């Protein structure tokens, strides 16, 4: 499948880092280093604009190494980029670590996963079918 992309950054297009990767790393498109203090959140531009086909979305997910080593993650994870959005892809990062983190031009800051979306219509009813679990919610299925 091909997805149309407009790259207004100096960074390469997102790519799969390995053959089995589900996500493609996306880069920061910034003119100056960005300081992200502990518990601070900022929108980081990518310089990318996409034309996602109807029936698909792009999910924005954290990079595991960035989260593990520095506590920097995508705040609304996974974020969703809808098929009718045509603005610049921006990544909402938060620093959950103890130290200031500096984001630099070209740094890989998140990953993008392409996923299919099913559109539904609600059917309003008066009762639901019975199951063994019933209304058991959080923690009801065990430890």
Mean pLDDT by 10 residues, the chain (143 residues): 96 95 97 97 98 97 96 96 98 98 98 96 95 82 73
Domains and CATH numbers, the chain: 4-116 (2.70.40.10)
* Nearest residue to 55 (alpha-carbon basis) of 84, 31, 34: 84
pLDDT on residue 20: 96
pLDDT on residue 142: 72
Rounded to the nearest 5°, which phi and psi values hold at 61?
-125, 155
* Nearest residue to 83 (alpha-carbon basis) of 115, 120, 112, 122: 115
pLDDT on residue 5: 98
Model pTM? 0.88
CB 58 within 8 A of CB 114: yes
């Amino acid at each position: 499948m091909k997805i149309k992309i407009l790259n207004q950054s100096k960074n390469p297009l997102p790519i799969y880092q390995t053959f089995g990767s589900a996500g493609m790393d996306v880069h920061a498109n910034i003119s100056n280093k960005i300081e992200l203090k502990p518990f601070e959140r900022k929108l980081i531009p990518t310089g990318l604009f996409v034309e996602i086909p109807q029936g698909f979305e792009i999910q924005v997910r954290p990079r595991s190494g960035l989260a593990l080593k520095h506590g920097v993650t995508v705040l609304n994870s996974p974020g969703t980029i809808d098929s009718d959005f045509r603005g610049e892809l921006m990544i909402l990062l938060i620093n959950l670590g103890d130290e200031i983190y500096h984001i630099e031009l070209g740094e890989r800051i998140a990953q993008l996963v392409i996923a299919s979306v099913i559109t539904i219509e609600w059917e309003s009813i008066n009762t639901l079918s019975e199951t063994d679990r019933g209304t058991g919610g959080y923690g009801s299925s065990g430890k």
